[in-house]
Structure 1
Amino acid sequence: MNKRLIALESPDFFLAELDRIAAEEGDEVYVLSHQGRHDGRDRVLRIDARADHEGALREITDRVGRPDAVLTTQEMFLTQAAALADAFGVSRDPLASVAASRDKARMKDAWLAAGVRTPQGRFYGTAADLDSADRFAYPVIAKPSMGFASCGVRKVDSAAELTEHLRKIFLVNSTVVAKERLRGAGFLVEEYVEGPEFSIDTIWYDGEPLCDAILSKGTATGPYFPDRLYYLDPRLPEETARKIEDLSHRAVRALGIGHGATHTEIRFRGDEPFVLETTNRPGAGGLFYTLFKSALGIDFHRLYYLAAVCDSADELAERAGTWKPYDLRPDTYPFWYNMPHQGHGVLKEIRGLAELTARPEIDLCLCYKQPGAVLYPEGLDADYFCSLLGTYRDAEGAPPIEEFITGYDTALEVIF
């Protein structure tokens, strides 16, 4: 088809899928990245789009011409990808909608205005903006308004804990968030919804969902809420799934997003679902799509790709074909697990990776960190350390998956 796609700062495992699809479709994928880890690729544009937007535009124009699409799997590059796409006239969603998907305060205002059920909350620009008259019904959730990967999200039980945690949020905003050059970063204080949590990944085209996949997150109670365990639950009630789909679709549409990928998080209080957050990118940087393909038989990578490059719904339908998801076995739980690490500092060595990878239930062990990298304390880590994809089988007498999975927590020894 001779389409040209720009992938901005996307991980190697996702680029491999884009390369596969481009080869099948007769297209070309170019990587735009300031990092030096793409030496084996022919089509690499080395520039930092966050630091030099105009330079990135010139580089793309000189090397590619006018691309057909610009995408990223990384939340911290969403606004840059949208700005580049807009400059070339190939953006699918308004820049304001993408910006709203990076600003939890704006999305909450949009949801409340549209009647989309979400926890009540209030935005503050700085800790000094907290009014001494403010009286919160503790526990509450405090989180950076422009954070991601649950970095800086904490359940706090008192005013003293809130004051202490705001120092960490300030650190997140002044380091990780500041790199994106967004304005108006602050923090949210919102009511805590205690109950089971789920995520739903959706591929959209022209305001319509092409496919959905729901992952259970369990009933984590904090105090921190890192993106840790997600699994496909073969026993998820149909009524619960419909509520998740309906609320997530209304939340995404309320922000004006109608194309590409969304990843939405929802919690239940009793029978009532509350949307917590959404964002305009694949879950887990795209690694959830690998899980969906192997467990459900739906090629989310390909649908995401086609939604980005196709010029019409008819073209997408012709190129995508049809698909039908697999039925999960009732005792099978395909999962993604974000490994925690003990301690923090400059990484010297990781021991136990080979043994972990060799476990029979593990399909993929992907360690993102190498010696020399910095690992941050719990609650401040916006990067993944090590991800596992696997399949847990609920045999008679076996512990529930939430209990079984904690056995991985001591599988790796990290030397600082």
Structure 2
Amino acid sequence: MGEHYVDVTHVLCGFSKGLISDLDSLLPAASVLVVEDEYVSAARDVPRRIVNHPCVAGVVHAPVQNEQDPARVVRAVSRPRHIRAVVPATEYGVVAAAALADAWGLPGAGTPAAAILRNKAALRAHADSAGLPQPRWRPAESVADVVAFRAAHGGRCVLKPADRQASLGVRLLDADDDAALAWVGTTTADEPRMRARDTGAGRFLVEERLSGPEVSVECLVDGGELLFLNITEKLLHPGPSPVELGHVVPASLPPAVTGELHRLMRLLVTSTGFGSGVLHAEWILVDGVRPHLVECAGRLPGDSIDLLIDLAYGGRIVADLLAVLQEGAPPTRGPALAGAAIRFLSAQPGVVRTVTGLAESRAAEGVREVDLAAEPGTVVKEVTSSWDRIGHLLATGSTGTHAGQNAAAAAGLIEVRTS
């Protein structure tokens, strides 16, 4: 592996600048090795972007996104002499991380569980067999499949890719929506800078469209045992693309609903055989009380939910993840001590003309951070995935509800006018 990697103790599967920034304060210099696909590494300029991160020893190119044959990444990456943990840094590195951990005798998700979590069709089939409540569904191979399923399920449905992230390609269809147009949008949705070129043909699902509030559940799991569980309230953009508008931690739910989500997450862990790591599962609460599984990722949550958890509960969820992956002392967490929320900023599609209210927003109650990428001259696109949002605002409060109110009020002070 090279003499300059002699101090490596942690391997990241996939490049995540946010995770590496966290690890800079948790791990020694030159202790982290990033394993990334060569094409993705070049497209995202990974070698340059890791230079200013002391914890990173370097980047190794390997077929980290080849989920059909994870043994290839095991053959391509030599086991560091002092390795302590393998961490899935991105959605597309989940299976590779599990495969390397298995091969090197380290805790991890387990390759079979990781493969189920990485493919929405595999997860749907598993949930049916395990008795996990979820929407009715079927694989979709053509527009005709979508039209037939929609007609059989009340004239509404959800069309989605089986292997993407960030709501990319997800479409909500009503009875009068053009299924052919939606099919093109879903089947061509891609993120070429994030995806390797040899990932194979995409697969697609059509699902029953359920109604109800949405939540996500974040779990820290150690050897199949749930050590910590948080429930996050989700806010969604209106319209055909269900992109997150915001998150609130912790969610305020009736005790019976919270208890049922605990039960279902334990069932998901035991039925998949998930070993150690973090799970991020999304659920629709039908009639506000009956959880139905949307999807589940075997990695840290995105959209700054990990930061919201830290602000609400104290401690650091990334440090807890490292502890369970390197067989350290099991971390302990108590109930939430406060609330935290994030609101994502958007504007009407067009060219930005004016931006007002930033200073007032930053001075508003509970606001911790405001980040806006739009300025006069910026082109704002329609929000069809998480990548299309133009900024965010993070706020805290005495409870999750209070934090959510603070975030909404501060976000309302910002006006981005387009034409």
Q: Same fold (TM over 0.5)?
A: yes
Contact 1:218–1:402 under 8 Å retained in 2: no
Identity of aligned pairs, percent?
A: 21
Which secondary structure state, in structure 2, belongs to the residue aligned with residue 241 of structure 1?
Answer: helix
| Deviation at residue 183 of structure 1 after TM alignment | 3.9
- Matched with 1:21 is 26
- Which of 134-143 and 113-122 deviates more? 134-143
Residues 1:135 and 2:151 aligned together: yes
Pairing 1:90–2:102 present: no
- 1:246-278 deviation per Cα after TM superposition (whole angstroms, max 9, x unaligned): 223323433332210110111111232111111
* Cα distance per residue 1:109-145 (max 9 Å; x no partner): 1001111100101111344655768733222111111
Scaled by the length of structure 1, the TM-score of the pair is 0.79
CA gap of 1:262–1:207, structure 2 versus 1, over 3 A, is same
- Post-superposition Cα deviations, 1:275-317, rounded to whole Å, max 9, x if no partner, equal 11111011116x222211221224322211111111xxxx433
Q: From the superposition, tell whether residues 57 and 46 of structure 1 become closer, same or farther in structure 2 (CA, over 3 Å).
A: farther
Letter in 2 for 1:37: R
Paired position in structure 2 for 1:254: 271
Verify the 8 A CA contact 1:144 1:173 in the aligned structure 2.
no
CA contact (8 A) 1:19 1:29 kept: no
Change (3 A) 1:21 1:175: closer
> 2:263 is paired with a residue of what secondary structure?
helix
Contact 1:147–1:177 under 8 Å retained in 2: no
Q: Deviations over 1:50-81 (max 9, x none)?
A: 4798998799649x446322213321332343
1:365 Cα deviation after fit: 3.4
Note if contact 2:171-2:242 (Cα within 8 Å) is conserved in structure 1. Answer: yes
Aligned to 2:136, which of 102, 113, 120?
120
User: SS at 2:205's partner residue?
Assistant: strand
2:65–2:93 contact (8 Å) kept in structure 1: no
Q: Which amino acid aligns with 1:335?
A: A
For residue 98 of structure 1, report the CA deviation from its aligned partner.
1.1
CA gap 1:155/1:147 in 2 versus in 1, 3 angstroms: same
Which runs of no fewer than 5 residues in structure 1 stay unpaired? none
Question: Structure 2: 5+ residue runs without aligned partners?
Answer: 1-6
* C-alpha separation in 2, matches of 1:414 and 1:97: 46
Q: Give runs of aligned pairs for residues 297-376 of structure 1, distance below 5 A.
A: 297-310=314-327, 315-317=328-330, 320=331, 322-328=332-338, 333-343=339-349, 356-366=361-371
Count, aligned residues: 396
Q: Which amino acid aligns with 2:277?
A: G
TM-score (norm 2): 0.78
Name the amino acid aligned to 2:58.
Answer: L
Q: Give the alignment of 1:8-407 within 5 angstroms.
A: 8-23=13-28, 28-32=31-35, 34=41, 35=46, 36-42=48-54, 43-50=56-63, 61=78, 64-65=80-81, 67-90=83-106, 92-127=108-143, 135-136=151-152, 137-158=154-175, 160-173=177-190, 175=192, 179=196, 181-183=198-200, 185-218=202-235, 222-233=239-250, 235-270=252-287, 271-284=289-302, 287-310=304-327, 315-317=328-330, 320=331, 322-328=332-338, 333-343=339-349, 356-366=361-371, 377-382=382-387, 385-391=390-396, 401=404, 405=408
Distance 1:386 1:100 in 2: 32
SS at match of 1:302: helix
d(CA) in 2 for partners of 1:325, 1:195: 26
> Measured at CA, do residues 181 and 239 of structure 1 come closer, stay the same or move farther in structure 2, by a change above 3 Å?
farther
